[in-house]
Amino acid sequence: MRVGNDYVIDIERIVFNLQHALLISGALYDEVWTLPEYEKSCAPYFETLFRAPVKLMPHLWSPVVLEREAAKLPAEFRFGYSGGGGAGAWAFLNRTSAW
């Protein structure tokens, strides 16, 4: 899985004569998984360097960690989306003092 903009990082290192970052390690790949945001900038680069097909994968994300940590915050620091859109839709919840 390659999820950084390796192409740009490698080009910058060549242009500015910087030490390589070992992004290309010589490891053999059966296929390369990357995120859709790198389809245009990195997929052809990955296919060429790794000599393997590139598959676009969705972001794997869950709000569980964020929600668990937010629940530990004191009430005056909790915030969230109240719906309805427009200015003020994101608001501090359970506010104990006016701002």
Q: Does residue 50 have a pLDDT over 80?
A: yes
Q: Does residue 30 have a pLDDT over 90?
A: yes
Residue 16 is assigned to a structural domain of this protein: yes
Per the model's pLDDT, the better-predicted residue between 81 and 35 turns out to be 35
> In whole angstroms, what is the distance from residue 35 CA to residue 20 CA?
23
Q: What is the mean pLDDT of residues 4-9?
A: 84
Residues 51 and 66 grouped into a single domain: no
Residue 1 is assigned to a structural domain of this protein: no
Q: Are 11 and 35 in contact (CB under 8 A)?
A: no
Residues 13 and 44 grouped into a single domain: yes
Residues 51 and 67 grouped into a single domain: no
- The domain of 35 spans 6-56
Report the amino acid identity of residue 94.
N
pLDDT recorded at residue 97: 46
- What is the domain count for the chain? 2
Residue 35 is assigned to a structural domain of this protein: yes
Half-sphere exposure of 30 (CA within 13 A, CB side): 0
Residues 76 and 93 grouped into a single domain: yes
What's the whole-model pTM score? 0.56
Kindly list the distances between the CA atom of residue 57 and the CA atoms of 33, 38, 72, in Å, as whole numbers in the listed order.
6, 10, 32
